[in-house]
Structure 1
């Protein structure tokens, strides 16, 4: 069984069986027909994945790794807030007529800040510290910038990464660990998508900083399943998990800005059929 499947099954079962409902409350999201989109939710979900053991891709349904990586690089490498720089259409609902999502996500990653070592954006600061001050407890990013929220077409959901480096007694290489903080997550549509994205990011940063991967911890403040998603989740939970895929990343890449979606592959990735036509609340 894939460990990611085990985590997903236990999380979804806990949300459905023990979560609280927002039905009847004043909620922001609506379905395409204008009906309020209610959820069952759990507060403070924490999932841990040891990236040394396996790559955390679901087998209960397929997670499209290339589109995952493309979106990750759109934010972290291209530092773009324009959907025309993205090869999928998942952000179309939040873009204006020019394709901009406002001062959100990649825009914030590209803003340069003054440090004593010079002007750097958040991505370059992370890489600088991992290479020059790896034991720092201050290696982190934050794109939930209050002064710019009014100019964001969508407030950031996955908003902060914290990196922490350890030295294992039986290894001559440092180990890179990371925590993803997420204020809110639509579990069916986005959970494994985000897990795979940021697991790939840890792999990428570890490789370019000559480290090995360690733990990836995913903290979700509001982990929820939408009312119209519950039957789809229940269908998934009846499926038999399959073995986890093998992870491959191009070992020749030593510069974070040279990675492309083609440099990441999941080998022997067997999954159950995709669940299609998932309704998305806006």
Structure 2
């Protein structure tokens, strides 16, 4: 069965059985009807996905691979902070009348900085180092910029990626690994969505830098299940699990900026019934 399913189910059970509740506390999120959105939470959840063995799409319900990839490319490739550049509507709640989410996410990745090698933004710096100095321990991005927080309509949740390259015995190509740091996560709405996005990113960067995709480590400071999501989660993790699908990335693309959402696909993706109308805390 899918390893991603096992990781997801184990995490959810641990949160439900061993987590702490925020009920009665002063919390920022609320439901559309104005009711406070309480959670059961676990601190410091760490999940590991070996991308060389399996692509981490859960089969308990379908995760929209192309839509998740589209949002990742909106941030990492287009470096956009305007929802009019995005095909989905996941950011509509946080956009202003012009479609901007402020100086968040893609905006921060597009800011150019002075390095010894010249002016580069954070994405170009990562690609430069992976190609020219792959064993550096300084290959990372950070979009949690404190001086700009007051101009962000939502503080970044997934805020940092750290890349690390290894040489496996017996392999000619290097292996690209990464750590995704996330300060907060709505487990039902966003967990596999984020995992899939950054798994695709690792595959894409590995391909354009002539490496193999290795491990993705996902670190979540506050992994939580909202009160109105608890019955849905309990039903979801009790479902039948299926084998992981086979992931394909267009092998012709060698420039990160040429990838589109149509360059990713999966075969044999069998899933449980989709869950619709999930209430989202805002």
Q: Identify the TM-score tier after normalising by the shorter chain.
A: over 0.9
Q: Which residue of 1 aligns with 2:21?
A: 21
Once the two structures are TM-superposed, the CA of residue 24 in structure 1 deviates from its matched residue by 0.1
SS at match of 1:47: strand
**C-alpha separation between the residues in 2 aligned to 1:47 and 1:237?**
17
**C-alpha separation between the residues in 1 aligned to 2:237 and 2:95?**
34
Once the two structures are TM-superposed, the CA of residue 240 in structure 1 deviates from its matched residue by 1.0
Output one character per residue of 1:94-146: Cα deviation in whole Å (capped at 9) or x when no partner. 00000000000000000000000000000000000000000000000000000
Output one character per residue of 1:80-100: Cα deviation in whole Å (capped at 9) or x when no partner. 000000000000000000000
Output one character per residue of 1:143-186: Cα deviation in whole Å (capped at 9) or x when no partner. 00000000000000000000000001110100000000000000
Give matches, 1:31-180, under 5 Å.
31-180=31-180
Once the two structures are TM-superposed, the CA of residue 243 in structure 1 deviates from its matched residue by 0.5
**C-alpha separation between the residues in 2 aligned to 1:131 and 1:237?**
41
SS at match of 1:44: strand
Q: Which residue of 2 aligns with 1:249?
A: 249
Once the two structures are TM-superposed, the CA of residue 238 in structure 1 deviates from its matched residue by 1.2
**C-alpha separation between the residues in 2 aligned to 1:214 and 1:277?**
35
**C-alpha separation between the residues in 1 aligned to 2:260 and 2:119?**
26
Give matches, 1:251-270, under 5 Å.
251-270=251-270
RMSD over aligned CA atoms reads 0.3
1:209 paired to 2:199: no
- The unaligned stretches of length 5 or more in structure 2 are none
Once the two structures are TM-superposed, the CA of residue 267 in structure 1 deviates from its matched residue by 0.9
SS at match of 2:225: strand
**C-alpha separation between the residues in 2 aligned to 1:170 and 1:185?**
38
Runs of 4+ in 1 over 6 A off after TM superposition: none
